[in-house]
Amino acid sequence: MRWAASAGDLRFHPERWGDRVVRIASPTGSHLLIRRHGASELSLWLPARAEPIPGGSFGLYLHPDTNHVDRVRAASNFRRAIGLGLSIRAAPFAQAHRHAAMLCLYDLAQAGASLRDIAAQLLEPMPDDWRSSSERSDLRRLAEAASEMVAGGYRQLLGSRPVS
């Protein structure tokens, strides 16, 4: 079994890869943020002392761990984004409105607002019987989901499994 496979004719031409390429340098290497119109932003880490020569060939190392499938998908997206495959477009995120509400709710709770105070800001009109309302239960579940996301659950968004 081969540990590495050719990813095609990769040449290091970041200036050709996107509408805007941002280089963020650090002592241990550089990050390239590649922005293309109508597509998701790509990030490429270039370790110090291993940065490719402009115009020269380079390879992608995919660490063989439990996230290998996601890394292969990311490498495929990168190749397609720089013109070595079918074009890619950013898929709309179906739960964006829910996650935005979760962040808002979490921020208000961290600022000291009670669930009832948050409901007064977000719900119009406020339910007459707050203690037994379904809105209260919905907000409580949303607050719990927000806390889980902030505590590390956001990593599931990067994986291949949908977040429920």
Q: pLDDT by residue (tens digit) across 14-73? A: 888 877 888 888 888 888 888 877 777 778 888 888 888 888 877 777 767 777 778 778
What ranges do the domains of the chain cover?
Answer: 14-81, 96-158
pLDDT: is 58 or 148 the higher one?
148
Q: Where are the alpha helices (DSSP H) in the chain?
A: 68-81, 96-110, 115-122, 134-150
Mean pLDDT across 68-85 = 76
pLDDT at 68: 75
Q: pLDDT by residue (tens digit) across 89-141? A: 555 667 778 888 888 889 889 999 999 888 888 877 888 888 888 989 999 99
C-alpha count within 13 angstroms, C-beta hemisphere, residue 130? 13
Measuring CA to CA, which residue among 164, 150, 5, 163 is closest to residue 76? 5
